[in-house]
Amino acid sequence: MGSVVWSRRRGVERPAADKVKTDQRDAERVLRLWMLDGLHPVRAPTGEEEALRDVVRAREAVRGDLMRARQRLSKLLLRHDVRYDDSSGAWTVAHRAWLTSIDLGGRGAQVTLLEYLGAIDAIAIRRDALEKTIAELIPGSPWEQTVARLRCLRGIDTLTAVGLCAEVGEFERFQKAGQLMSYLGLTPSEDTSGEKRRQGAITKTGSRHARCWSKPPGTTAARPRRARRSNAANRDSRPRSSRSHGKRNDAYTASGNDSTLSAASAARSSRSPSPASSPASAGHSQTPTDRAMHHVG
């Protein structure tokens, strides 16, 4: 018969004046909590889950070491007034080649620069090795399907999906999304009294590592999607009159006048049964709204 780990529910605290702790008093307290339904089962992770979690957290620690090493090098260059003016961005291949070509003049400063560069390269190699190991552990593991499903979401790739699986464990134990958000500490705090309700920042309860893994997909999902280049090319290749109508419709949508635009489209539809069948519309380019309304109709 397997054992079950139980924990007391939140809000059932031990009295502050209770300073005596014995086995008998603990047994009595557990019995009272059991009768009051103050205990709930806790899922203990398996050995395989703990091993995956250790690898993921080791990679997270190495990433923090890499950030600190890069910051030390950046501050060293800042003290010597050496700045990278290229628009390609920092910590790219071009930036790495530029760091190699720097000459700070003094022997001590140059040795420090080379030491910092060597430390960054060594940490980057360790990070890449851990990421490769994590990718090799997924095929054939119990998390293979879960990782594949999480990768279908916007902003989640293999590393983020594995991190969530390692920290959360079984997603099936959460009956709805609100329970998972509460477990991750992403639900807003609340201070309600009477008719006054006030919500504050997130509670930040639970695992800090799991909450960190859940931030990248949330940040990515909050950003609007960019228009594809193919759509932009098609818009530029349309006739000038059609492009002017499209810009006017985009301005309506951007200003929040969706209802005005819909009303105008409905009025045009009521005047003419169909833009394609109307003789007046023959040879005239249809606006994106007209085409959409015709497709819906």
162-195 burial, b if ≥16 CB within 10 A, otherwise e?
A: bbbbbbbbeeeeeeeeeebbebbbbbeeeeeeee
Mapped onto helix, strand or coil, the DSSP state of residue 89 is coil
Which of the four pLDDT bands, split at 50, 70 and 90, describes residue 208? confident
Task: Let me know if residue 24 belongs to a domain.
Answer: no
Please check whether residues 186 and 205 belong to one and the same domain. Answer: yes
pLDDT higher than threshold 90 for residue 71: yes
Whether this prediction's pTM lies above 0.85 is answered by: no
Mapped onto helix, strand or coil, the DSSP state of residue 41 is strand
What is the reported pLDDT for 190?
Answer: 87
What is the reported pLDDT for 254?
Answer: 42
Q: Which residues contact 131 (CB under 8 A, 6 or more apart)?
A: 59, 159
Please check whether residues 131 and 54 belong to one and the same domain. Answer: yes
pLDDT higher than threshold 60 for residue 77: yes
pLDDT (tens digit, 9 = 90+) per residue, 10-50?
Answer: 545 667 777 888 888 888 888 888 887 777 777 788 888 88
Secondary element (H or E) of residue 278: none
Closest CA to 253 of 277, 287, 278: 287
One-letter identity of residue 94: A
What is the reported pLDDT for 284?
Answer: 45
Which of the four pLDDT bands, split at 50, 70 and 90, describes residue 217? low
Please check whether residues 179 and 203 belong to one and the same domain. Answer: yes
Please check whether residues 121 and 82 belong to one and the same domain. Answer: yes
Cβ atoms 199, 188 nearer than 8 A: yes
pLDDT higher than threshold 50 for residue 196: yes
The percentage of the chain sitting over the pLDDT mark of 90, rounded to a whole number, equals 28
Task: Let me know if residue 129 belongs to a domain.
Answer: yes
Task: Let me know if residue 282 belongs to a domain.
Answer: no
Task: Let me know if residue 285 belongs to a domain.
Answer: no
Which of the four pLDDT bands, split at 50, 70 and 90, describes residue 8? low
278 vs 211: which has the higher pLDDT: 211
What is the reported pLDDT for 40?
Answer: 73
Task: Let me know if residue 294 belongs to a domain.
Answer: no
Please check whether residues 132 and 182 belong to one and the same domain. Answer: no
Residue span of the structural domain in which 185 resides: 144-190+198-222
What is the reported pLDDT for 103?
Answer: 93
The Cα–Cα gap between 94 and 98 comes to 6
User: In this structure, what are the phi and psi dihedrals at residue 193, rounded to the nearest 5 degrees?
Assistant: -145, 115
Please check whether residues 124 and 101 belong to one and the same domain. Answer: yes
Task: Let me know if residue 160 belongs to a domain.
Answer: yes
Of 98-102, 164-168, 239-243, the range with the lowest mean pLDDT is: 239-243
The Cα–Cα gap between 261 and 253 comes to 8
- The domain total for the chain is 2
Please check whether residues 151 and 116 belong to one and the same domain. Answer: no
Of 21-30, 186-195, 236-245, the range with the lowest mean pLDDT is: 236-245
Task: Let me know if residue 10 belongs to a domain.
Answer: no
Most confident option among 32-41, 61-70, 215-224, 228-237: 61-70
* Average pLDDT for the chain: 76
153 bridge partner residues: none
Please check whether residues 133 and 65 belong to one and the same domain. Answer: yes
Please check whether residues 125 and 152 belong to one and the same domain. Answer: no
Based on its alpha-carbon atoms, the radius of gyration of the chain, rounded to whole angstroms, reads 30
Please check whether residues 180 and 106 belong to one and the same domain. Answer: no
pLDDT higher than threshold 60 for residue 64: yes
Please check whether residues 115 and 168 belong to one and the same domain. Answer: no
Give alpha helix (H) positions in 36-106. 47-79, 93-100
pLDDT higher than threshold 80 for residue 113: yes
Q: Which residues contact 213 (CB under 8 A, 6 or more apart)?
A: 160, 163, 164, 167
Cβ atoms 203, 189 nearer than 8 A: yes
Mapped onto helix, strand or coil, the DSSP state of residue 34 is helix
pLDDT (tens digit, 9 = 90+) per residue, 120-166?
Answer: 999 999 999 999 999 999 998 888 999 999 899 888 888 888 998 88
- Average pLDDT of the segment spanning 229-247: 48
pLDDT (tens digit, 9 = 90+) per residue, 247-296?
Answer: 444 444 444 444 443 444 444 444 444 444 444 444 444 544 454 444 44
Q: Return the residue matching tokens 């397997």.
A: 2
Pair of tokens at residue 246: 């499209």
31-46 burial, b if ≥16 CB within 10 A, otherwise e?
A: eebeeeebeeeeeeee
Task: Let me know if residue 171 belongs to a domain.
Answer: yes
Q: Residue 161, class by beta-carbon neighbours within 10 Å (0-12 exposed, 13-18 middle, 19+ buried)?
A: buried
Give me the DSSP letters along 201-240. Answer: EE---S-HHHHHHHHHHHHHHHSPPPPPHHHHHHHHHS-H
